[in-house]
Amino acid sequence: MRNLMRIVAAVVVLIFSFTVIGCGSKTVAEVNGEKITKSQLDKRVKKIKMALESQGASFSGTDSVQMLKALEQQTLDNMITQSLILQAAKKEGVYPAKSEIDKQLEEIKAGFGGETRFIEELKKYQLETQDLVDKMYSEASYSALYEKITADVKVNDDDIKKWYDNNKANYKDPVKIKARAILIKFDDPNQPPSAMGQPAEKVNRTENDAKKTAEDIIKQLNAGTDFATLAKEKSEDDNSKNDGGLIKDLQGSSLYAKGALMPAEFDQAALALKPGKITTAPVKTSGGFYVIKLESVTPEKQLSFEEAKEKIRQDLPIRKKQDKFTQYMSDLRNSAKVVNKLEQEAPQTPAGMPQGTPPASSK
């Protein structure tokens, strides 16, 4: 199932990635002599516009013409970059072999259970097999080009120490909180659907009723009722109620980093308490009302070089590779012969316009 979802996600991403080497139709750009046509651009803009509208963007206001022109220019710029990547991959000898792509395509079809189901899924997104093939060539070219251009990036101990000395502020153990909580949920009519489009969970309780319930719980706690016992009975946080309301991070630790797990309102209220104390009033968050008991706080701590060096050893090569490839792409664009026929007429991005469009590939 996980592989199937990955394949579906790859197909959805196709909304943003199509072949850019054109034939026929009006030419809107040339990249070292290779044409990008108006029909290709229109096809891609249409797909992106549909995707943005499904996420709440509107192209029907007074700025709609300007917004569409800005989207068209942003999309064309991405298509130009994609074309440069494909050309560079061929020049560097890392353009994928047809046999490699054919093998991957057959694996994807098998993941859908065969050709028929595969075609049906593509049709849901108004796509064809060639769209997927183009996407696969693009992604494989990007990955292979990235690996070749950054292959000589090395990091030694001196680099790691220098990076630490110049970026000490970035290497700290954050404030850590140990707390228990009782959550009482309420129905919020303004809460948007989940990322997967699922409607918000209904608990058939108004905000006012939830607050009153939480206030009653505080009264019971002040009268001497054990917090952990009451959490097991009353809390609607399935992740913590069985542990007596004890908040744990994804690794199962009862010390969680400030700002990394719980809502900001929760952390703020918890840190305002003294260890062993509970909130005097319910704490409202988007998830519901919390009653909080602070167990302990571990202050922020500056990591020594010895404590930070292994993380730097892992992260610094990635950063240096990204920097090198970014410079490579900038040089590639500057040295290329690019004719963008929309560039002069494209407006500035108006207020309300989603900034940028998804890149052809990302590392």
Token pair recorded at residue 303: 């990591």
* pLDDT, tens digit only, all 363 positions of the chain: 444 444 444 444 444 444 444 445 799 999 999 999 999 999 888 888 887 877 777 888 778 888 888 899 999 999 999 999 999 999 999 999 999 999 999 999 999 999 999 999 988 877 889 989 999 999 999 999 999 999 999 999 999 999 999 999 999 999 999 999 999 999 987 765 554 445 567 888 999 999 999 999 999 999 999 999 999 999 999 999 999 999 999 999 999 999 999 999 999 999 999 999 999 999 999 889 999 999 999 999 999 999 999 999 999 999 999 999 999 999 999 999 999 988 755 555 544 444 444 444 444
Token pair recorded at residue 168: 């000490």
pTM, two decimal places: 0.68
What pLDDT does 18 receive? Answer: 44
> Which are the contacts of 248, defined by CB distance < 8 A and separation ≥ 6?
239, 240, 254, 256
- Cβ-count burial 37-51 (b if 16+ within 10 Å, e if not): bbebbeebbebbbeb
Q: Which residues pair with 297 in a beta bridge?
A: 177
What pLDDT does 22 receive? Answer: 47
What pLDDT does 202 receive? Answer: 81
What pLDDT does 47 receive? Answer: 81
> Which are the contacts of 174, defined by CB distance < 8 A and separation ≥ 6?
257, 258, 259, 260, 300
What backbone phi and psi angles, to 5 degrees, belong to 350? -75, 165
What pLDDT does 7 receive? Answer: 45
What pLDDT does 104 receive? Answer: 95
* Count of C-beta atoms within a 10 Å radius of residue 62: 8
- Domains of the chain, CATH where assigned: 2-151+329-340 (1.10.4030.10), 172-190+200-301 (3.10.50.40)
CA 315 to CA 289: how far, in whole Å?
A: 38
| Contact status, residue 318 vs residue 14, Cβ threshold 8 Å | no
> Which are the contacts of 37, defined by CB distance < 8 A and separation ≥ 6?
22, 23, 24, 25, 26, 27, 28
What pLDDT does 295 receive? Answer: 98
What pLDDT does 192 receive? Answer: 57
Token pair recorded at residue 119: 């075609």
CA 167 to CA 22: how far, in whole Å?
A: 47
